[in-house]
Structures are given as structure tokens and as C-alpha cells.
Amino acid sequence: MTDWQWLIIDFFQALAAGLLVGGTYGLMCVGLGIIFGVMRVVNFAHGDFMMLGMYVAYYLVTGFGVLVFLGPYVGPVVGAALAGPVVYVVGWLLHKYLISRVTGARVISAEAEGHYAQIILTLGIALVLANGGLILFGSTPLSVQTPLSRESWEIGLIFFNQARTVGFIMAVICAIGLYLFLARTSLGKALRAAADNPIAAAYVGIDVDRSHRIAFGLGVGITAIAGGLFAMSQSFQPYIGFDFVIVMYAGVVLGGMGSILGAFWGGLTIGLVQQISTLVLPYQLQNTAIFAAFLIIIFFRPQGMFGRVWERT
């Protein structure tokens, strides 16, 4: 085969890899999208909730082996799914006792100051989670054991890593599930209303504080599931959250603030950018490409792909 043909195959391989990874990134960004994109709460600890999800999945599947009976193919997927509710509870508690003290209606008026406190508080939470994780879990990189990560399906000349493909499918299913929840159920609609216009929501009798709490838990729970799916094909350690914070914000901003669907596309695009950049950039700089993309979006098109035009940075 000619060099040219290899190049094309490389490109499509990168595209495929980017798509698969992007699905999980997309789910991860959807979680942040609920919190930052819709509720406008700056959550600096979002990456660490994902890290928690990874460890929950790990302990359920490999560590304590609770899900061993499901076998090495189904177990990790279920483990990832279960990471969601566990981290939901953690998020819910943190919101109730800490985060709600710096968000909510009384803070909305003093926007700059409110955000300042949110940033600092969630930074503190991030440090506690990441380092607490270091204490509890140790620094050895782990991953959820599954033979899926070593095998690939082949379509034409393109390889689709099985673990990543399963992750992609699960991510899409979760995203669709979330979408249906928000679009069709009464609770989902109440959450959307409370995020869209808290004042009007209070007037129609919605408990806005409770809604924000549930939405927060949901946001971190969804990202935790994405983490669990990730853990099938990638090793992780307690500090992985910091690496992903920019990636997640890049995805949400790219997709457009206020749009949860946009957040998914944003994450997907970031995954593609990352993988395709490996064709021209050395492996260590793949995240640099994301940062560059993030900065470019913020400077030139702050409303992202699907956001409302009055979104100004």
C-alpha cells in the first residue's frame, strides 16, 4: 500500500477512535452541561466526581468483586451504571450541605461574587476528593479488568476497540435515557423549568432548591457513569480529575451553554479533535490541542455550536 493510502487509513482510524472516545467524553460533558451549562454553577470538582465513579466501578467489579457473578463482559458495564447512583448520593449531600451555601437565588444577584465563591469552594472540594482518593485508594494506576479492552472488532481495515465500543454504546444509551427523562417525565420537566427560570418556577410552585439539588446529583452521577465506562479501557489514578476539567469545560462551552444536547456533541467533537491531533502532534501534546481549541472557542465563538447568542464571556 502506498503512503497515501496508509495516511487515509490512519485518518479514519483516528476518526473511529475519536468517535468512540468522544461518546464517553460526550456523556461526561452532558453531566457538566446540566450543572454548568444549565444551572450556571461553576463546579471545579466535576472531574473528581468522575474519578469517584471510576473507583466505584472498579471496586464493584474487580476490587471487591461484587459483580463477579455477572462475568467479565457484563460486569464492568453494570459496574459503570451503578457508579451513577452512588456518586449521585455523594453529590446530593455535598450540594445540600456545602454547595447550596454559595448558589441559589440570593447569590444570583451578585453574579461575580457568587461565582467567585463557587469556584473557590468547589476547588476545595476537588482537592479534598482527589487527595482523599489518594489516601483511600493509593496512587497505583488501576483499571477495571475486562477482556474487552484487549480485543477489537474489525470493519474493513479499521479497528474498533471492544471496550471503547461498548463504552460508546452505553454512553449513547445513557444520554438518550437522560434526554427522555428530562423531556418526558414530570420531574425532568420540573428540573428544566427550575434551571431555565428559577423565579417563574417558584411561582408555579416548584421547589427550586430541591430541584437544583437533584440536578446537581444527576449531573455528577452521569459523569460518574462516563468515568466507569472509561475505566474499562483506560487506567486511572486519583488525580485524573484535574486532567479532565479543561476537557469537560471545553466540551460544554463548545457545544453551547444551556444546551445539554450541545454538550454531548461538544464532548464528541473534543474526542475527535484529540484523536485526530495525534496524527500531527506527538502523543504527549494531545491535550494541548484541546486547550488550544478551548481558548479559540472562548475568544471567537463563546456561544458554541448550539448555545443562545446572548451568551457572552
Kindly list the residues in this chain that would bind another protein in the complex (CB under 8 A): 42, 98, 101-102, 111-112, 115-121, 123-135, 138-139, 186, 189-190, 192-193, 196-197, 199-208, 238, 242, 245-246, 249, 258, 282, 284-285, 287-288, 291-292, 294-295, 298-299, 302, 313
Residue 148 DSSP one-character state: G
* Least Å from the CB of residue 153 to another protein: 31
Please state, in angstroms and rounded to a whole number, the distance separating the CA atoms of residues 195 and 191.
6
**Dihedral sign (CA 268, 273, 274, 275):** positive
Q: Which residues contact 255 (CB under 8 A, 6 or more apart)?
A: 29, 33, 37, 261, 262, 263, 264, 265, 266, 267, 269, 304, 305, 306, 307
E strands in 142-190:
152-155, 158-161
* Least Å from the CB of residue 18 to another protein: 19
Residue 154 DSSP one-character state: E
For another protein, which is the closer residue by CB, 158 or 246?
246
Please state, in angstroms and rounded to a whole number, the distance separating the CA atoms of residues 139 and 137.
7
For another protein, which is the closer residue by CB, 65 or 132?
132
Angle, in degrees to the nearest 10, between helices 46-58 and 71-97: 140
For another protein, which is the closer residue by CB, 225 or 240?
240
For another protein, which is the closer residue by CB, 79 or 198?
198
Please state, in angstroms and rounded to a whole number, the distance separating the CA atoms of residues 174 and 230.
14
DSSP 6-26: HHHHHHHHHHHHHHHHHHHHH
For another protein, which is the closer residue by CB, 40 or 74?
40
For another protein, which is the closer residue by CB, 4 or 299?
299
Please state, in angstroms and rounded to a whole number, the distance separating the CA atoms of residues 22 and 230.
11
* Least Å from the CB of residue 124 to another protein: 4
> Does residue 241 contact residue 28 with C-beta atoms inside 8 Å?
no
* Least Å from the CB of residue 20 to another protein: 23
* Least Å from the CB of residue 23 to another protein: 24
Grid coordinates representing 176?
A: 438518550
* Least Å from the CB of residue 86 to another protein: 21
Nearest to 32 by CA among 55, 12, 48: 48
* Least Å from the CB of residue 267 to another protein: 16
